């Protein structure tokens, strides 16, 4: 070809510029079934005619003109062949080119070129048969995927398929009145990531177990990207500041700085934790920054703290307790400016109590319009040692005033020497922080349906399912460790080796499992003994894995309502059995969460909490009991008395009140 | 003796003033108030056994309440209250005021720490009869109010806060009647809402701003 042609540049549909190569014209003609010599002749003529900056479309039009002049029949063949255009995923319209299918198959799957070319040829034939002028890139993929499946290349299909969501679902999301733009974006992204995890990250056995409903992998959309939740040790950041990727926050010098650091910590943490974050002992760790502040100033700091966190749009827990817990009073305090001079937290008892009171009061007042805060959730730890402290009753009354008005406050009571970090129960001598990498919940009723009444089979299946859950957790641990090594998880990158790491096995529907297997509910004596065997077996299987700093734990995880999803799936397979065991409320089938006693059981509260509290002891990853209040406006004073009784007279670790008016 | 009852609520924060309590709802109300949907399936139990069940189930609460629209219509309610009294729990009985004789016995035997009287309508014969279906009701309620004026325990009066029963006049008259009867030591006027005939925001506001003691629940 001539030198002049080599200097001509063309602009492709994608916007890329490249030197014109006449062989492209030859190849395009041959693809359309034109003989080699005619094709060469056409290419030479086109080379002479095109100008610098011509588009690929102009080149095709010029080729067609040359062909019409030389051989009208060949021109018609060329026109038919190249009249199929593709709307590409790069938002361009380009002429269909089979070679692109071949190249993408080789790049994205492990298929050899010969097979890729064969698949591409068959897909092209299928597409041309449809006689469409425009086809989309997703349509091409769908057709290619069908061809891959026809030839038995299932693995290649899983790699080559597109991720996304049906237009109908997307329309519902976008047009749904309740969704703001950010939620729409998040939901769509979550959908794609979930498909990605199921197709590419999880082995088929685990993906199937989740989809079929043997297990529920919580926050599955974040399985490949984030850990689940975290209890931060604020002291670490008060001492060293936060080293963000774009900017660093220095150790705070005063109360306002410290408050902003806490809020920033949660904001950075959103990049690492998918489900929730928690600041425990917040009033204790901020106490040194509050010395000398008036009550009004302290109230302002409390209000600001709640308002700032409420704006984050993330699930956050703030734990407060009245003053400095005894085990923490001799701990060296981090002081303003990140100083440590031997002063202990015990010396800030007054500030810690006053700030706890200020937080409870600010929460009970709601935001500046008086609207209750939906986030953060406030969590109150009740200890025997607090009971005689001046102001404790007021503190508790404020907490229960908000709970009675509908706030989902969490209440906790540590038992013995155990250390609580958020809702995690840790060995007494560890840090007050921990990260839960992942929770996988086991569907207990299904095990009962599948065991056909045989105890032996039930325990075999239970072991299989727990081991499957552990396999998923091991995989998650590897995923997170790779991401920590790549330094793409803010906060977790620096603290991964020093923070206690938890991996949680959850469970759902113990009550329905017992009904299906024994015909008796959890609160019946004959079923309770069997329930203990089931949970002890799970506890033993779960806790024998891991090591001191990387612990596998049992957990009662309630996010995402696995008790609904798994009951619905079971209903599709074991309808005749689910009908008798699952609770039907408001037209939906659902299981009783974890080891809760059925809401319908007419059981004294003390007995209900005694049964549930027994299982809390085994769930070091967290367990919360819910106490329904069936009055329109519950009275906070009796509620406060009840909480004190629960703390003193039961084994319950965590509880909250919910209003269920009309039941 | 058997006691007929609808259900037991093992936790209430409102039934006994200031205390977490358990409530047993006895059946057999003689009234047929147009707004009342009844209490559901009726069960029975020996009074002593029911009392034991309540006591055993009350580990986390400080008070027991024998409620229902009118528990005292059952003679066995006295046996139940006797079995519950003196067991270390505060005890309350609710009444519609229709059975002053049994309430009198309850008070004489010093069985309860608290009484709650549910008023159904303005204290006027025609209106009370129209609402409850019992012509003699209002006389019995006045009899009950007389009895309660010498009761030295906790006393609550509940009144329906819903149209068409509730009016400004009703509120004024009720308040005057109660004061006339000597209820200046009334612990709370407990305005309630019949659920399917909800109180209006206006009626709630009237109670709030009218200077009347008590709270809207």
How far away is chain B from the Cα of A634, in angstroms, using its nearest Cα? 6
> Strand A85-87 relative to strand A93-95: parallel, antiparallel, unpaired?
antiparallel
Measured between alpha carbons, how far is B171 from A660 in angstroms, rounded to an integer?
A: 30
Q: How many other C-beta atoms are found inside a 10 Å radius of the C-beta of residue B103?
A: 25
Most confident of A59-68, A559-568, B174-183: A59-68
pLDDT for residue B213: 44
- Which residues of chain A make contact with B14, given a CB cutoff of 8 A? 631, 633-635, 638
A50 pLDDT more than 50: yes
Can you tell me which residue has the tokens 């024994």? A518
pLDDT in tens, A578-607: 766 666 555 678 899 999 998 888 899 999
Contact of B156 with chain A, judged by CB distance below 8 Å, is answered with no
* Structural domain boundaries in chain B: 2-216
- CB-based burial label for B170 (10 Å; 0-12, 13-18, 19+): buried
**Nearest alpha carbon to residue B140 among B159, B160, B110, B118:** B118
Is A65's pLDDT higher than 50?
yes
Q: What's the ipTM?
A: 0.85
**% of chain A exceeding 90 in pLDDT:** 62
Report pLDDT for A4: 43
* Burial (Cβ within 10 Å: 0-12, 13-18, ≥19) of residue A381: buried
Residue A352: which of A281, A294, A419, A299 has the closest Cα? A281
The partner residues of A378 in beta bridges, in order of sequence, read A318
CB contact under 8 A, B57 and A607: yes
Contact B22 A604 (CB under 8 A): yes
Cβ contacts of B195 on chain A, cutoff 8 Å: 662
For A512-541, write each residue's pLDDT tens digit: 999 999 999 999 999 999 999 999 999 999
* Region of poorest pLDDT, from A488-497, A543-552, A647-656, B31-40: B31-40
CB nearest to A641's CB, from B22, B62, B195: B62
Q: What is the pLDDT of residues A121-172, one digit of tens each?
A: 999 989 988 878 788 888 999 999 999 999 999 889 988 998 888 888 888 8
Which of B13, B21, B195 is closest, CB to CB, to A629? Answer: B13
Closest-CA distance of chain B to residue A415, Å: 18
Which residues of chain B neighbour A634 with C-beta distances below 8 Å? 13-14
On average, the pLDDT of chain A sits at: 90
State yes or no: pLDDT of A31 exceeds 80: yes
CA B95 to chain centre: 4
B2-216 CATH pick, 3.90.700.10, 3.20.20.150, 3.30.1360.70, 3.20.20.70: 3.20.20.70
C-alpha count within 13 angstroms, C-beta hemisphere, residue A629: 26
Separation between Cα atoms, residue B85 and residue A584, nearest integer Å: 39
- The minimum CA-CA distance between A161 and chain B, rounded to whole Å, is 55
Interface of A with B (CB under 8 A): 404, 602-609, 627, 629-639, 641-642, 645-646, 649-650, 662
Interval A337-364: pLDDT, tens: 999 999 999 999 999 999 999 999 999 8
Residues 41-60 of B with CB under 8 A from A: 56-60
Residue A231 in 3-state DSSP? strand
Tell me what pLDDT residue B201 has.
58
Nearest CA-CA partner of B193 in A403, A637, A633, A660:
A633
User: How many angstroms separate the Cα of A533 from the Cα of each of A305, A459, A514, B162?
Assistant: 45, 9, 11, 53
Q: A550 falls in which pLDDT band (50, 70, 90)?
A: confident
- Cα–Cα nearest to A290, from A250, A335, A238, A260: A335
Residues of chain B with pLDDT below 70 are 35, 37, 160-168, 183-217
Q: A205-264: per-residue pLDDT in tens? A: 999 999 999 999 999 999 999 999 999 999 999 999 998 777 788 999 999 999 999 999
Q: What gap in Å lies between CA A290 and CA A302, rounded to an integer? A: 11
Asked if B14 and A607 come within 8 Å (Cβ–Cβ), the reply is: no
């Amino acid at each position: 070809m001539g030198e002049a042609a080599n200097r001509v540049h063309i602009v492709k549909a994608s916007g890329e510029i490249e030197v014109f190569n006449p062989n492209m014209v030859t190849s395009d003609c041959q693809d359309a079934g034109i003989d080699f010599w005619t094709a060469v002749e056409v290419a030479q003529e086109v080379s002479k005619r095109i100008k610098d900056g011509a588009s690929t479309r102009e080149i095709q039009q010029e080729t067609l003109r040359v062909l019409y002049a030389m051989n009208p029949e060949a021109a018609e063949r060329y026109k038919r062949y190249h009249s199929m255009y593709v709307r590409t995923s790069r938002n361009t319209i380009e002429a269909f080119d089979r070679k692109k299918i071949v190249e993408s198959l080789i790049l994205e799957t492990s298929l050899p070129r010969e097979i890729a070319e064969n698949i591409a040829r068959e897909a092209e034939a299928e597409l041309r048969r449809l006689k469409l002028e425009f086809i989309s890139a997703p349509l091409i993929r769908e057709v290619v995927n069908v061809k891959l499946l026809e030839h038995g290349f299932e693995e290649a299909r899983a790699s080559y398929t597109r991720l996304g969501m049906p237009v109908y679902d997307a329309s519902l999301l976008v047009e749904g009145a309740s969704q703001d733009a950010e939620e729409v974006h998040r939901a769509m992204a979550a959908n794609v990531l979930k498909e990605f995890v199921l197709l590419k990250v999880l082995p088929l056995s685990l993906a199937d177990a989740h989809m079929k409903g043997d297990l529920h992998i919580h926050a599955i959309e974040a399985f490949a990207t984030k850990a689940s939740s975290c209890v931060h040790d604020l002291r670490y950041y008060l001492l060293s500041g936060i080293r963000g990727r774009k900017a660093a926050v220095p150790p705070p010098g005063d109360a306002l700085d410290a408050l902003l650091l806490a809020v920033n910590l949660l904001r950075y943490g959103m990049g690492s934790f998918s489900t929730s974050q928690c600041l425990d002992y917040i009033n204790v760790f901020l106490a040194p920054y509050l010395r000398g502040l008036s009550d009004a100033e302290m109230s302002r700091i409390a209000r600001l703290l709640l308002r700032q966190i409420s704006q984050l749009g993330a699930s956050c827990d703030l734990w407060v307790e009245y003053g400095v817990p005894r085990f923490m009073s001799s701990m060296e305090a981090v002081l303003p400016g990140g100083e440590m001079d031997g002063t202990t937290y015990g010396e800030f008892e007054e500030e810690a109590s006053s700030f706890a009171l200020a937080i409870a009061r600010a929460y009970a007042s709601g935001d500046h319009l008086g609207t209750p805060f939906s986030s953060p959730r406030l969590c109150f730890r009740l200890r025997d040692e607090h009971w005689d402290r001046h102001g404790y009753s007021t503190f508790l009354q404020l907490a229960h005033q908000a709970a009675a008005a509908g706030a989902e406050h969490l209440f906790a009571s540590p038992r013995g020497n155990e250390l609580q970090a958020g809702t995690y129960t840790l060995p007494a001598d560890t840090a007050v922080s921990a990260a839960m990498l992942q929770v996988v919940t086991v569907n207990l009723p299904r095990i009962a349906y599948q065991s056909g009444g045989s105890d032996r089979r039930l325990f075999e299946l239970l072991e299989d399912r727990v081991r499957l859950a552990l396999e998923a957790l091991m995989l998650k641990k590897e995923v997170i460790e790779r991401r920590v090594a790549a330094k793409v998880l803010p906060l977790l990158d620096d603290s991964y080796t020093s923070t206690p790491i938890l991996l949680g096995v959850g469970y759902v529907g113990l009550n329905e499992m017992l009904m299906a297997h024994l015909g008796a509910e959890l609160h019946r004596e004959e079923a309770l003994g069997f329930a203990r065997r089931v949970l002890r077996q799970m506890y033993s299987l779960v806790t024998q894995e891991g090591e001191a700093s990387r612990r596998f734990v049992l957990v009662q995880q309630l996010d995402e309502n696995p008790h609904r999803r798994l009951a619905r799936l079971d209903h599709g397979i074991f309808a005749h059995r689910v009908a008798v065991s699952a609770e039907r409320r408001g037209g939906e089938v659902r299981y009783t969460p974890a080891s809760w006693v059925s809401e319908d059981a007419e059981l004294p509260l003390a007995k209900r909490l005694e049964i549930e509290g027994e299982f809390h002891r085994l769930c070091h990853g967290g367990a919360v009991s819910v106490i329904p209040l069936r009055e329109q406006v519950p009275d906070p004073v009796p509620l406060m008395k009840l909480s004190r009784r629960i703390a003193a007279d039961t084994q319950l670790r965590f509880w909250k009140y919910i209003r269920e008016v009309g039941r | 003796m058997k006691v007929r009852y609808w259900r037991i609520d093992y936790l209430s924060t409102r039934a006994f003033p200031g205390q977490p309590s358990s409530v047993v709802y006895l059946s057999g109300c003689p009234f047929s108030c147009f707004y009342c949907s009844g209490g559901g399936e009726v069960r029975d139990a020996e009074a002593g056994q029911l009392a034991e069940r309540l006591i055993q189930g009350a580990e986390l609460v400080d008070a027991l309440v024998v409620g229902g629209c009118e528990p005292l219509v059952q003679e066995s309610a006295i046996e139940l209250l006797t079995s519950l009294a003196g067991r270390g729990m505060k005890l309350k009985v609710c009444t519609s005021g229709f059975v002053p004789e049994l309430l009198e016995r309850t008070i004489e035997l010093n069985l309860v720490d608290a009484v709650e009287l549910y008023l159904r309508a303005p204290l006027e014969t025609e209106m009370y009869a129209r609402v409850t279906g019992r012509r003699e009701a209002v006389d019995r309620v006045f009899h009950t109010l007389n009895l309660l004026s010498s009761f030295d325990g906790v006393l609550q009066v509940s009144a329906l806060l819903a149209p068409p029963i509730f009016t400004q006049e009703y509120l004024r008259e009720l308040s005057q009647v109660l004061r006339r009867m000597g209820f200046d030591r009334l612990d709370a006027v407990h305005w309630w809402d019949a659920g399917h005939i909800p109180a209006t925001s206006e009626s709630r506001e009237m109670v709030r701003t009218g200077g009347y003691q008590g709270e809207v629940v």
